[in-house]
Amino acid sequence: MISHDRWFLDRIATHILAFEGESQVRWFEGNLSEYEAFRHKELGTAADQPHRIKYKRLAA
């Protein structure tokens, strides 16, 4: 399920496949609230701040 409705996702999600920065993919067992709490515990205040993705140049 793909949705931007946090209330809906919090109630139906049992697992989350999160595509995070630096091309990392994380499998998380739990709902959206639990995932956000986990990220905040892991990253601290940096979890609240978005950051720009850096891309590698394709050609020189």
Q: Does position 59 have pLDDT exceeding 70, yes or no?
A: yes
Q: How confident is the model at residue 60 (pLDDT cuts 50, 70, 90)?
A: low
CA distances from 44 to 15, 34, 36, 47 (A): 22, 15, 11, 6
User: For 12-54, how does the pLDDT look when each residue is reduced to its tens digit (9 = 90+)?
Assistant: 989 999 888 777 898 999 998 998 899 888 888 777 777 777 7
As beta bridge partners, residue 29 has 15
Instruction: Determine the pLDDT at residue 52.
Output: 74
